[in-house]
Amino acid sequence: MEQLYTVNQLAEELGITPRALRFYEVKGLLAPNRVGNNRVYTKRDRARLKLILRGKRLGFSLAEIREYLDLYNVDGGVEQQKNLLKRVQTRLKDLAQQREDLEATVGELKEIEDQVTTLLAQRKAAKES
């Protein structure tokens, strides 16, 4: 018999809230089975949720994650892997640009900090003279 997870079990195991699980269901990323009135998740659902969470952590949108998951069901992986590669390369490029932008911003802020610190030190020294 296949192992099934309840909402609370799966949420706790993956460190998310039951509400987050419901959100992913509403968005069509998960479709749990029902046992009576209770939603239950299979190992496949668990793996799918782990992919969703990983995609979110890496900065992909829910639409991109859905497209990736949908491709997985279509051809067993080839198109999915090509799509993933393209998206990963795009994400890496975007992150590299963000890193450059952040480094430039940090550099500018450090210059301002140095200028203001020097100015304040000069004013303090002038008052003490």
Domain locations along the chain: 1-57, 61-129
Its pTM stands at 0.70
Q: Compute the chain's Rg from CA coordinates.
A: 24
Question: CA 26 → CA 31, 32, 64, 105, 127, distances in Å?
Answer: 9, 11, 16, 39, 65
pLDDT tens, per residue, the chain with 129 residues: 678 999 999 999 999 999 999 999 999 999 999 988 899 999 999 999 999 999 999 999 999 898 888 776 665 567 778 878 888 899 999 999 999 999 999 999 999 999 999 999 999 999 887
How far is Cα of residue 52 from the mean position of the Cα atoms in its chain? 8
Q: What top-level class would CATH report for the domain 1-57?
A: mainly alpha
